[in-house]
Amino acid sequence: MASVRSLDNAFGINGIGAGSGNIPYNGNRLRNLIEGSDLVMSHILHFYHLAALDYINTDQSILKGVAPWGNGKDNTSDMVTSAGVANVLIGNYVAALNMRRKAHEMAAYIDGKHPCQPALIPGGVTQVSTPALTASLANLLGTGSAVNSGNTAINLRSFIKYVYLPDVKTVAGAFASSLLTGSTADGLGAGCKKYLAYGTFPEDSGTKFISGGFLNATAPLVANWTLDPFEQLNIHESVKYSFYDDSCEGLHPSAGSTVPAPTKGGDTYSWLKAPRYISNTNACEVGPLARVLVNVVNDLRGGGAMDWATAATAFLTSIGLTTANIPNLRGVLGRHAARAIECDVVADQMASWITDLTNTSATGDTYTHMDIPRTGAGVGLTEAPRGALGHWITINGKKIANYQCVVPTTWNASPKSLDGTNGPIEQALIGINVGSGANSGLSARVKVGRIVRSFDPCIACAVHIVSPDKKEVVKFELPSLPSK
């Protein structure tokens, strides 16, 4: 989505609506539904299939003795040990697989295949909106009275409201003392407490359903947090501790450069660059927690329609806390809570986008043709499930002259920047106590695992440079690039 938006921008698409130079309303709605389906799929995946096992003592459950889950290892005392509760969570772990399939199916009705969808093109999407399409989408998502506690295996919104959200609350309730409230105002693994969202889901008016913003939430009280509008020109990437040539240091992505330096040496330790906002001291967390906190604060200050503040308050109330506990969301459980809250709020809004599709001419355009410009530049910003995503393109002679991506996990898992400021995950780990002596290994694995996984890191990106058997950097040579 970021890529196609960078092309929209470079090709001269100005907005949403009728007329040349715009993405037709239905094209934009279908794009939002693709992105929404992906978000719903990803959040369900993360809670059940990546994170839940950090919180369930599998040796007390039906998985006892079942490899690799109930192996007698990595179970600690601060896990759900009630066999009844654990077995319900494990049952939902299996049910969640089916719901992920439904979410991908929903996206694939529009984009042909998901992920790696072929339907996204500059100016809109290749799919058209038909009554059959909107009926299929509504059926999978769940609309109206079909959203109820008896339909949790039938449609996504029933599953989210009556299974996913309650399960996150079960875990949150079970761990509130150790993970959420604690002795300080932060949750465990709070980290940098600076949050960045680019925003996404542009609606008919052009306003984004999820607003962007830069939230400095380092103060203990919400009243003292500062929320500023997001400005992409404030992004730069630092490479002092990254395996990239020092000539890449401090550049804005539109002028960015990616020159690998695998033998750089010194204190270099990561293949991720270190993106920072305004200054090197601003390592920023991106993702569901960032989006929810930015939008909750925006709502509370009169900038939004209150969807987010209402949902966050309802969540806190349901686990025995209040709006005053919003600062406690800065941490591990807050990340899981934010993911579930966002999944629910976005899925609800997706139902209204489907309604909007059916309320307009079913055969309305979904695509505006634009020619490739001889020269141009574009920026594409969105929110991937894991956080703020940006692509920057420069076109010369109708070909790509420069292309830079700054992906969500580059923000969250970034190494130190030039001034030595640690990345968000690093900051979330510094200061925790993993114990000493015989149990420190287990405690570290569980506690560190919980903190790192709560960010939902994704670094599955193409070219491996570590060989699986030798654990060493393999040699590679960059092709000499043709002159531009």
- Looking at residues 19 to 58 of the shown chain, list those that interact with another protein (rule: CB under 8 A): 41-42, 45, 49-51, 53
**Nearer residue to another protein within complex by CB, 418 or 452:** 452
Interaction between residue 465 and another protein (CB under 8 A): yes
Interaction between residue 225 and another protein (CB under 8 A): no
**Nearer residue to another protein within complex by CB, 245 or 360:** 245
Radius of gyration, CA atoms only, the chain: 23
With CB under 8 A as the contact rule, which of the stretches 314-322, 348-356, 359-367, 462-470 interacts with another protein?
A: 462-470
CA distance 116 to 201: 19
> Quick one: 366 exposed, middle or buried, by C-beta within 10 A (0-12, 13-18, 19+)?
buried
Task: Give the count of alpha carbons within 13 A of 90, CB side only.
Answer: 21
- Looking at residues 415 to 454 of the shown chain, list those that interact with another protein (rule: CB under 8 A): 415, 422-423, 425-427, 429-436, 440-441, 443-445, 448-449, 452-453
CA distance 264 to 69: 40
- Minimum distance, C-beta of residue 53 to another protein, in the bound complex (Å): 7
**Nearer residue to another protein within complex by CB, 359 or 470:** 470
5 close to 380: Cβ distance less than 8 angstroms: yes
Cα separations in angstroms, 241 against 82, 262, 421, 422: 45, 12, 11, 10
Write down the H helix ranges in 160-262.
Answer: 165-175
Interaction between residue 240 and another protein (CB under 8 A): no
- Looking at residues 99 to 138 of the shown chain, list those that interact with another protein (rule: CB under 8 A): 115-118, 120-122
Interaction between residue 278 and another protein (CB under 8 A): no
Please pick, from the candidates 112, 182, 262, 364, the single residue that binds another protein as defined by CB under 8 A: 262
Tokens 């759900």 belong to which residue? 80
Interaction between residue 2 and another protein (CB under 8 A): yes
- Looking at residues 381 to 400 of the shown chain, list those that interact with another protein (rule: CB under 8 A): 384-385, 391, 393, 395, 398-400
- Looking at residues 72 to 101 of the shown chain, list those that interact with another protein (rule: CB under 8 A): none
Interaction between residue 64 and another protein (CB under 8 A): no
Q: Which helix (H) or strand (E) holds 238?
A: strand 235-238
With CB under 8 A as the contact rule, which of the stretches 56-64, 231-239, 286-294, 411-419 interacts with another protein?
A: 411-419
CA distance 332 to 322: 18
Structure tokens at 424: 């968000």
**Nearer residue to another protein within complex by CB, 7 or 297:** 7
**Nearer residue to another protein within complex by CB, 117 or 298:** 117
Give me the DSSP letters along 133-200. Answer: HHHHHHHHH--GGG-STT-TTT-HHHHIIIIIHHHHHHHHHHHIIIIII-SSSSPTT-TT-EEEE--E
Pairing mode of beta strands 15-16, 208-210: unpaired
348 close to 142: Cβ distance less than 8 angstroms: no
- Minimum distance, C-beta of residue 203 to another protein, in the bound complex (Å): 22
Give the per-residue contact string, 319-358, with another protein (x = CB under 8 A; - = no).
----------------------------------------
